[in-house]
Amino acid sequence: MPKRILQGVVVSDKGDKTVVVKVERRLMHPLYKKFISKSKKFSAHDAENRFKIGDRVRIEECPPISKSKSYAVIYDDAN
């Protein structure tokens, strides 16, 4: 089964080896046919504490590392 890869912005880097990434997606409202933005926050493993608030990163699904972490940061985009 392929691993899910998501792209988002780091909104918190307070945890040790953990960043919180906000992923936004756009979808069409079924009745009004307007595009709306929905967002969700994911905790991701950052082993080197490399990423800071505001960085655009990609995260990849991985086996659970802790209770809330089942994603790992793979790399950052060119800002």
Number of domains comprising the chain:
1
Look at residue 60 and tell me if it is in a domain: yes
Please state the pTM of the whole predicted model. 0.87
Using the CB atoms, write b or e for 47-76: b if 16+ within 10 Å. Answer: eeeebeeebebbbeeeeebeeebbbbbeee
The predicted structure's pLDDT at residue 1: 74
Look at residue 73 and tell me if it is in a domain: yes
Look at residue 74 and tell me if it is in a domain: yes
The predicted structure's pLDDT at residue 69: 96
Look at residue 63 and tell me if it is in a domain: yes
| Residue span of the structural domain in which 65 resides | 9-13+39-47+56-79
Look at residue 79 and tell me if it is in a domain: yes
> pLDDT means per 10 residues in the chain (79 residues)?
91 96 96 97 95 96 95 76
Look at residue 64 and tell me if it is in a domain: yes
